[in-house]
């Protein structure tokens, strides 16, 4: 993986693999130090393959023992072994042939956590995207799909459980004292979906009956002693199974579905066929150790991986440029699953509010992570055109923007039409490796039936274009004609490195569905006459650079409620006044648009504060925002969960990102001052809310109503501390002491660390003493400190010097190093902070390039910063780029940043 120059791979260069691989047999002699892999690959030439076409297999960090062709050992001059490939010319008779390979790999030395690796005393694999080549030589590409048979052999004392994909065929002891297990997966799959797990685990299981009446076994495996913490994950898995049947008619195609928790894992989880491997953080939960947010996170990730069984595994990607085919679609599916689970069982009004909260959280994530990506050097379309390292393209764009592109198709087709499109997609492509175009073709076939004369040709540009489009909205009301004219104009500036091209690439208009509504000055909804009926919300479909709509029968001048439900991933530019926004912030019946109006009001205030700080002018008045907040806090018709969203200031990173230029220190100052002022001036209301939201003493449940109450109560505590309200510290200390679940104790600890660090010492010591042996909870302890404004570079280094710290465990590295670099801008943006970042990127890169590359992204937008920060970040990037032995992963990121 280490190179000085990294070749660029282009989507256009795709060529099919010349050989088919119907069957694969793998035999593993498993041991941590050295594992021996014997493979038998049954190839046949694809139609049209010329005799003499070389067979090329990938391999990385492997030791070759032997190669056989149809059972005959090959001499060294009968095959070529290059850096990362093994190639040979197969017999030219056009018939099937078998390649046998024996090789060794070294799991205990594998700190990359790709391929076969050790975590604790267990063995795990991670093969997506290109990890299988670290296990054995193989055509490591997603369009080569094979039926796998896997024999695992190991010492039963060290590895009593031996798992792989599919069905367990037999298990037996061996004369040499070891044992073995034979697994067969009935479904053809690409090697990135292969998995094996070996070790000693606790397991809980249950059977569920699928809608066609089959009994299936669901199992969750965890470290010994953690069985009770896997119940929620198993419930979520059963819910996911039934939800996919109800909503998409998709049934589990296996007799057995396993989820295994791993302590060391680069990402969230992996959808290996029938054997999902999860970061333990997305499996383990009980009320004492997991927050409400962690419960929801587990539900989302369990759902996501389960849904991949159809969208990703049954129908997979032809090549890695098509990654959003499975990821965007599966994120959309997990978002809908979570929303449906939140709304389940609630009366309609509350159900709508619960769904809106989920939508707000998803949009918040998109704006926080994807919008900056789309404006920086790594900007790429959801279907990228090129990459150097595919590991760098598991991005917010491919995942979250990809999900928005699917959601827009859902909006354009409607629930029924979208479902028909999905059915058509599976009808055409079940069992195949396909492209994003194939997916859109299936959707378009339904769209064209239902909207004669229209197609998706403009819509497809969402797959081709990078950058966040801006939509300018202007409106004019004519009282005499009782008509409102709305004009939309779109443009998309060159994204990231496109700006360097001359001429910059042309960006034709996109197909943008913009959901809007009208309200009058009293906040009442004004229905719109649309396609023969009166509607509160209509969708304007902009397909050209600009478009105008005239809405008639509008009795009074309206205020426009725009981008309802966030109907498209765009940035709005409007002529709405502060008063318009304030009206929407209090009265918009669309809960998303109402939240957005509060956010926009807060953003405008924060930018005005930054500007005042810069020019030395007077600080802007807080009154408008204050009154909006007061009204939201006192509005008893709102659910506490929704109130908690309305009353959250935009994240500091969003505030920094809006600056022109970005000025982290000025943003920290403005944000901190605003939080203090809002907390202080609303102290009485916050205190009343805090008291009213006290726990009712019943058993813990992560349901949306009680978790919403806890969220708002923690926010109240945070505001009381921010505003230095009398007695706030005592309140936090009491909440910490009396906490009945992790949401309460972590809420108190975090608020103290943020606003009253001098009073946090007691709870911090207590927390550590209580949880020192639970790695996931200890991550929380580390993270709360690394993200606190009082944690300087010296402070984060002190955390890293503790015996509990290790850079090798990605969760711990994320809790400390990432948390500091992403959530502590006041301390990061200092000369020592820049040095720290460079040093940590390099230290991580020597161990784990995938994780290092993610940290290296923290400086993507250095060039948009004010001069001092800009120079400091640029120098740190240079230092990384000039370091010897950089991985391809980090090299791609920093060289693009500096390009």
Does the N-terminal peptide bond of residue 503 adopt cis geometry, omega within 30 degrees of 0?
yes
How many of the chain's residues bind Zn ion (CB under 5 A)?
2
In terms of Cβ atoms closer than 10 Å to its own Cβ (0-12, 13-18, 19+), residue 83 is exposed
Q: At what angle do helices 348-365 and 323-343 cross, to 10 degrees?
A: 150
Q: Is 327 an interacting residue with respect to ligand 0A1 (CB under 6 A)? A: yes
Pick what 400 binds: Zn ion, ligand 0A1, none; C-beta below 5 to 8 Å, kind-dependent.
none
Closer CB to ligand 0A1, residue 240 or residue 752? 240
Closer CB to Zn ion, residue 313 or residue 824? 313
Of residues 321 through 350, those in contact with Zn ion by CB under 5 A are 327, 330
Kindly give the pairing relationship between strand 55-58 and strand 470-478.
Answer: unpaired
Q: Is 850 an interacting residue with respect to ligand 0A1 (CB under 6 A)? A: yes
- The answer to whether the CB of 82 falls within 8 A of the CB of 60 is no
Closer CB to ligand 0A1, residue 126 or residue 165? 126
Residue nearest to ligand 0A1 (CB): 267
Q: Is 266 an interacting residue with respect to ligand 0A1 (CB under 6 A)? A: yes
Closer CB to Zn ion, residue 327 or residue 600? 327
Pick what 252 binds: Zn ion, ligand 0A1, none; C-beta below 5 to 8 Å, kind-dependent.
none
Pick what 279 binds: ligand 0A1, Zn ion, none; C-beta below 5 to 8 Å, kind-dependent.
none
Query: For residue 371, what are the contacts with CB-CB under 8 A and spacing of at least 6?
Result: 468, 571, 657
Q: Helix and strand tally (H, E) in the chain?
A: 28, 33
| Span from 205-213, 262-270, 447-455, 721-729 in contact with ligand 0A1 (CB under 6 A) | 262-270
- Least distance from C-beta 308 to ligand 0A1, angstroms? 7
| Span from 16-24, 268-276, 458-466, 691-699 in contact with ligand 0A1 (CB under 6 A) | 268-276
Pick what 394 binds: ligand 0A1, Zn ion, none; C-beta below 5 to 8 Å, kind-dependent.
ligand 0A1
444 is annotated as an active-site residue: no
| Span from 47-55, 260-268, 407-415, 721-729 in contact with ligand 0A1 (CB under 6 A) | 260-268
Pick what 126 binds: ligand 0A1, Zn ion, none; C-beta below 5 to 8 Å, kind-dependent.
ligand 0A1
Tokens describing residue 680: 């202080």
Q: Give, as one character, the DSSP assignment of residue 508.
A: P
Q: At what angle do helices 623-634 and 578-587 cross, to 10 degrees?
A: 10
Give the bridge partners for 270, in sequence order: 277
- Active-site residue, from 305, 373, 389, 400: 305
Per-residue DSSP letters for 128-189? TTTTGGGTS-B--STT--BEEEEEEEE-TTT--EEEESSEEEEEEE-TTS-EEEEEE-SS-B
Q: Is 126 an interacting residue with respect to ligand 0A1 (CB under 6 A)? A: yes
Pick what 527 binds: ligand 0A1, Zn ion, none; C-beta below 5 to 8 Å, kind-dependent.
none
Pick what 850 binds: ligand 0A1, Zn ion, none; C-beta below 5 to 8 Å, kind-dependent.
ligand 0A1
- Least distance from C-beta 327 to ligand 0A1, angstroms? 5
Pick what 267 binds: ligand 0A1, Zn ion, none; C-beta below 5 to 8 Å, kind-dependent.
ligand 0A1
Q: Is 128 an interacting residue with respect to ligand 0A1 (CB under 6 A)? A: yes
Candidates 589, 627, 666, 639; CA nearest to 826 is 666
- Least distance from C-beta 417 to Zn ion, angstroms? 24
Query: For residue 713, what are the contacts with CB-CB under 8 A and spacing of at least 6?
Result: 640, 689, 690, 693, 694, 747
Q: Give, as one character, the DSSP assignment of residue 483.
A: E
Closer CB to ligand 0A1, residue 267 or residue 610? 267
How many of the chain's residues bind ligand 0A1 (CB under 6 A)?
13
| Span from 251-259, 264-272, 292-300, 478-486 in contact with ligand 0A1 (CB under 6 A) | 264-272
Kindly give the pairing relationship between strand 161-164 and strand 122-126.
Answer: unpaired
- The answer to whether the CB of 229 falls within 8 A of the CB of 289 is yes
- Least distance from C-beta 269 to ligand 0A1, angstroms? 5
- The answer to whether the CB of 633 falls within 8 A of the CB of 681 is no
Q: Is 271 an interacting residue with respect to ligand 0A1 (CB under 6 A)? A: yes
Q: Is 269 an interacting residue with respect to ligand 0A1 (CB under 6 A)? A: yes
What angle (nearest 5°) sits at the alpha carbon of residue 138, between those of residues 123 and 74?
A: 115
Closer CB to Zn ion, residue 269 or residue 729? 269
Q: Is 18 an interacting residue with respect to ligand 0A1 (CB under 6 A)? A: no
Of residues 392 through 421, those in contact with ligand 0A1 by CB under 6 A are 394
Q: Give, as one character, the DSSP assignment of residue 887.
A: B
- Least distance from C-beta 770 to ligand 0A1, angstroms? 31
Candidates 106, 158, 139; CA nearest to 39 is 139
What is the contact mask toward ligand 0A1 in residues 584 to 623, using x (rule: CB under 6 A)?
A: ----------------------------------------
From the list 16, 268, 494, 795, which residue makes contact with ligand 0A1 (rule: CB under 6 A)? 268
Closer CB to ligand 0A1, residue 327 or residue 590? 327
* Distance separating alpha carbons of residues 453 and 4, to the nearest angstrom: 53
List C-alpha distances in Å: 822 to 18, 123, 490, 815, 833: 45, 31, 32, 11, 11
- Least distance from C-beta 309 to Zn ion, angstroms? 11
Pick what 128 binds: Zn ion, ligand 0A1, none; C-beta below 5 to 8 Å, kind-dependent.
ligand 0A1
Q: Give, as one character, the DSSP assignment of residue 650.
A: P
**Region for residue 556 given its phi and psi (left: phi exceeds 0; alpha: psi -120 to 50; beta: otherwise):** beta
Helix (H, G, I), strand (E, B) or coil at 394: coil
Q: Is 334 an interacting residue with respect to ligand 0A1 (CB under 6 A)? A: no
In terms of Cβ atoms closer than 10 Å to its own Cβ (0-12, 13-18, 19+), residue 576 is buried
- Least distance from C-beta 383 to Zn ion, angstroms? 15
- The answer to whether the CB of 510 falls within 8 A of the CB of 562 is no
Radius of gyration for the chain, computed over Cα atoms and rounded to the nearest angstrom: 28
Candidates 265, 345, 344, 338; CA nearest to 307 is 338
- Least distance from C-beta 308 to Zn ion, angstroms? 6
Pick what 718 binds: ligand 0A1, Zn ion, none; C-beta below 5 to 8 Å, kind-dependent.
none
- The answer to whether the CB of 264 falls within 8 A of the CB of 808 is yes
* Distance separating alpha carbons of residues 869 and 881, to the nearest angstrom: 18
Closer CB to ligand 0A1, residue 291 or residue 889? 889
Q: Give, as one character, the DSSP assignment of residue 877.
A: H
Pick what 266 binds: ligand 0A1, Zn ion, none; C-beta below 5 to 8 Å, kind-dependent.
ligand 0A1
Pick what 153 binds: Zn ion, ligand 0A1, none; C-beta below 5 to 8 Å, kind-dependent.
none
- Least distance from C-beta 554 to ligand 0A1, angstroms? 46
Query: For residue 440, what are the contacts with CB-CB under 8 A and spacing of at least 6?
Result: 409, 456, 459, 460, 463
Query: For residue 500, what are the contacts with CB-CB under 8 A and spacing of at least 6?
Result: 899
| Span from 14-22, 175-183, 249-257, 261-269 in contact with ligand 0A1 (CB under 6 A) | 261-269
Closer CB to ligand 0A1, residue 69 or residue 269? 269
- Least distance from C-beta 621 to ligand 0A1, angstroms? 46
- Least distance from C-beta 272 to ligand 0A1, angstroms? 9
Q: Is 264 an interacting residue with respect to ligand 0A1 (CB under 6 A)? A: no
Q: Is 270 an interacting residue with respect to ligand 0A1 (CB under 6 A)? A: yes
* Distance separating alpha carbons of residues 434 and 57, to the nearest angstrom: 22
- List residues with catalytic annotation: 305
User: What is the contact surface with Zn ion in residues (CB under 5 A)?
Assistant: 327, 330
User: What is the contact surface with ligand 0A1 in residues (CB under 6 A)?
Assistant: 126, 128, 266-271, 304-305, 327, 394, 850
């Amino acid at each position: 993986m280490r190179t000085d120059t990294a070749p660029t791979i282009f989507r256009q260069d795709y060529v099919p693999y010349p050989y088919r691989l119907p069957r694969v047999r793998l035999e593993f002699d498993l041991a941590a130090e050295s594992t021996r892999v014997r493979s038998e690959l049954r190839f046949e030439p694809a139609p049209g393959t010329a005799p003499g076409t070389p067979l090329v297999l990938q391999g990385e960090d492997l030791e070759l023992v032997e190669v056989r062709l149809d059972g005959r050992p090959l001499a060294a001059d009968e095959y070529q072994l290059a850096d990362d490939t093994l190639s040979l010319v197969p017999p030219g008779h056009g018939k099937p042939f078998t390649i046998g390979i024996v090789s060794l790999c070294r799991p205990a030395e594998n700190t990359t956590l790709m391929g076969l690796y050790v975590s604790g005393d267990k063995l795990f694999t991670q093969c997506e995207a290109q990890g299988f080549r670290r296990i054995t030589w193989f055509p490591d590409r997603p369009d080569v799909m094979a039926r796998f048979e896997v024999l695992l052999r190991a010492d039963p004392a060290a590895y009593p459980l031996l798992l792989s994909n599919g069905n367990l065929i037999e298990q037996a002891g061996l004369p040499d004292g070891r044992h073995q297990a034979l697994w067969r997966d009935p479904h053809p799959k690409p090697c990135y979906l292969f998995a094996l797990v070996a070790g000693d685990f606790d397991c809980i299981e249950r059977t569920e009956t699928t809608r066609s009446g089959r009994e299936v076994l669901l199992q969750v495996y965890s470290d010994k002693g953690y069985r009770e913490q896997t119940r929620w994950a198993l419930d979520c898995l059963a819910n996911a199974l039934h939800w996919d049947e109800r909503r998409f008619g998709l049934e589990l195609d296996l007799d057995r579905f396993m989820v295994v928790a791993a302590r060391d894992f680069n990402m969230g989880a992996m959808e290996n066929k029938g054997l999902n491997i999860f970061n333990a953080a997305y499996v383990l939960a009980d009320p004492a150790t997991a927050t409400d947010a962690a419960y929801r996170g587990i539900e989302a990730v369990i759902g996501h991986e389960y849904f991949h069984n159809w969208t990703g595994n049954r129908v997979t990607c032809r090549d890695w440029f098509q990654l959003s085919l499975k990821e965007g679609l599966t994120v959309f599916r997990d978002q809908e699953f979570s929303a449906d689970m939140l709304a389940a069982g609630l009366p309609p009004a509350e159900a709508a509010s619960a769904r809106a909260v989920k939508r707000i959280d998803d949009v918040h994530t998109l704006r926080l992570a994807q919008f900056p990506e789309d404006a920086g050097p790594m900007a790429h379309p959801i279907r990228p055109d090129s990459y150097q390292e595919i590991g760098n393209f598991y991005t917010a764009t491919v995942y979250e923007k990809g999900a928005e592109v699917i959601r827009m198709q859902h909006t354009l087709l409607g629930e029924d039409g979208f479902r028909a499109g999905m059915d058509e997609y599976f009808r055409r492509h079940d069992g195949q490796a396909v492209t994003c175009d194939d997916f859109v073709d299936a959707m378009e076939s339904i769209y064209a039936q239902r909207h004669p004369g229209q197609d998706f040709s403009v819509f497809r540009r969402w797959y081709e274009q990078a950058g966040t489009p801006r939509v300018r909205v202007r409106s004019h009301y004519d009282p005499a004609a009782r008509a409102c004219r709305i004009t939309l104009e779109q443009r998309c500036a060159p994204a990231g490195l496109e700006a360097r091209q001359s001429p910059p690439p042309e960006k034709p208009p996109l197909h943008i569905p913009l959901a809007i509504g009208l309200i009058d000055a009293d906040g009442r909804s004004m229905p719109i006459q649309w396609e023969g009926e009166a509607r509160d919300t209509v969708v304007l479909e902009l397909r050209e650079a600009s478009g105008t709509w005239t809405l008639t029968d509008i009795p009074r001048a309206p205020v426009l409620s725009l981008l309802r439900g966030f109907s498209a991933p765009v940035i709005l530019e409007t002529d709405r006044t502060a008063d318009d926004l304030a009206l929407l912030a209090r009265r918009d019946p669309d809960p998303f648009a109402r939240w957005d109006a509060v956010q926009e009001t807060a953003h405008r205030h924060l930018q005005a504060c930054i500007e005042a700080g810069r020019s030395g002018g007077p600080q802007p008045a807080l009154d408008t925002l204050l009154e909006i907040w007061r009204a939201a806090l006192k509005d008893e018709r709102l659910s506490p969960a929704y109130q908690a969203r309305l009353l959250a200031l935009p994240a500091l990173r969003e505030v920094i990102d809006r600056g022109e230029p970005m000025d982290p220190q000025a943003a920290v100052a403005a944000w901190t001052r605003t939080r203090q002022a809002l907390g202080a001036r609303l102290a009485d209301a916050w205190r009343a809310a805090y008291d009213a939201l006290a726990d009712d003493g019943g058993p813990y449940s992560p349901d949306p109503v009680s978790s919403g109450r806890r969220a708002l109560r923690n926010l109240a505590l945070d505001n009381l501390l921010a505003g230095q309200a009398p007695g706030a510290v005592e309140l936090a200390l009491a909440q910490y002491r009396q906490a009945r679940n992790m949401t309460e104790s972590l809420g108190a600890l975090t608020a103290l660390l943020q606003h009253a660090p001098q009073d946090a010492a007691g709870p911090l010591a207590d927390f550590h003493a209580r949880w020192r042996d639970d790695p996931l909870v200890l991550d929380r302890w580390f993270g709360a400190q690394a993200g606190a404004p009082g944690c300087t570079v010296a402070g984060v280094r002190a955390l890293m010097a503790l015996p509990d710290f290790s850079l090798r465990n990605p969760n711990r590295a994320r809790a400390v190093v990432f948390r500091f670099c992403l959530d502590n801008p006041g301390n990061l943006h200092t000369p020592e902070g820049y040095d720290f970042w460079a040093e940590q990127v390099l230290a991580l890169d020597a161990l784990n390039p995938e994780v290092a590359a993610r940290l290296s992204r923290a400086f993507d937008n250095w060039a948009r910063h004010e001069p001092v920060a800009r120079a400091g970040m640029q120098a740190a990037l240079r230092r990384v780029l000039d370091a010897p032995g950089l991985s391809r992963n980090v090299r791609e990121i920093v060289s693009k940043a500096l390009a």
